Amino acid sequence: MNRPEYIVIHHSLTKDGSVKDWEAIRKYHVGTNGWTDIGYHYGIERVNGVLTTQMGRPVFMAGAHTKEAGMNQRSIGICVVGNFDVAPPDWETVGYLRDLCYAIMANYPIPAQNVIGHRDAGLMAGFDWRKIGPTGVREFKTCPGILFPLHGLQIELKGVLT
Ligand SMILES: [Zn+2]
């Protein structure tokens, strides 16, 4: 991957259980999908009640998390374990993600407006997650979840770095 220009946020769509799910996601991506490694670069997961950063594939490798708008080659993918279509992430998780984003943004550097959700990459490629087709299926996934406070996160990131 060239120098990353974006951070793309995802959710795992799975319920965050008390044990570590990250390795199960890695196993699925490698064993079932046949990928070299888990598709994301970082993960955030609560393990035994404690928020943790999980390592994904190294950042020098292109991701396998967002095909749309060429984002696998242009972005660092972070997956927050949970399903934020059914409930929003708690404030502590969002704060933890914000701090991880700060560190990555400062390192590359990546501007706050380039911290986006997977669904925003869909919009950039012409797929609108807000549109529901005649069969009741959305045109694109809602990732990182309908209830994920993406806008609030972006505002907080802008507030500090501008
Ligand atoms: Zn996603």
Distance set, CA 9 to CA 31, 116, 134, 137 (Å):
23, 6, 28, 22
Expressed in angstroms and rounded, the spacing between residue 134 Cα and the centre of ligand 1 is: 23
- Residue 19: its pLDDT value, please? 76
CA distance 45 to 92: 11
Expressed in angstroms and rounded, the spacing between residue 89 Cα and the centre of ligand 1 is: 15
Q: What is the mean pLDDT of residues 77-104?
A: 96
Expressed in angstroms and rounded, the spacing between residue 65 Cα and the centre of ligand 1 is: 6
Expressed in angstroms and rounded, the spacing between residue 49 Cα and the centre of ligand 1 is: 24
Determine which helix (DSSP H) or strand (DSSP E) holds 161, and give its type and residue range: helix 150-161
pLDDT at 58 over 90: yes
Expressed in angstroms and rounded, the spacing between residue 109 Cα and the centre of ligand 1 is: 22
- Residue 109: its pLDDT value, please? 92
pTM for this model (two decimals):
0.94
The single-letter code of the amino acid at 132 is I
**Rg of the Cα trace of the chain?**
15
pLDDT digits (tens, 9 = 90+) for 25-57: 999 999 999 999 999 999 999 999 999 999 999
- Residue 96: its pLDDT value, please? 97
Expressed in angstroms and rounded, the spacing between residue 81 Cα and the centre of ligand 1 is: 11
Q: CB–CB of 83/54 below 8 Å?
A: no
Q: What is the mean pLDDT of residues 117-141?
A: 96
Which one has a higher pLDDT value, 15 or 62?
A: 62
pLDDT at 160 over 90: no
Expressed in angstroms and rounded, the spacing between residue 122 Cα and the centre of ligand 1 is: 10
CA distance 128 to 116: 15
Average pLDDT, the chain: 94
Expressed in angstroms and rounded, the spacing between residue 3 Cα and the centre of ligand 1 is: 21
pLDDT at 1 over 60: yes
Given the DSSP bridges, would you call strands 75-80 and 6-11 parallel, antiparallel or unpaired? parallel
User: Residue 15's pLDDT band (boundaries 50, 70, 90)?
Assistant: confident
DSSP 8-state class, residue 118: H
Which domains are seen in the chain, by residue range?
6-161 (3.40.80.10)
Distance set, CA 91 to CA 71, 76, 147, 153 (Å):
27, 22, 12, 11
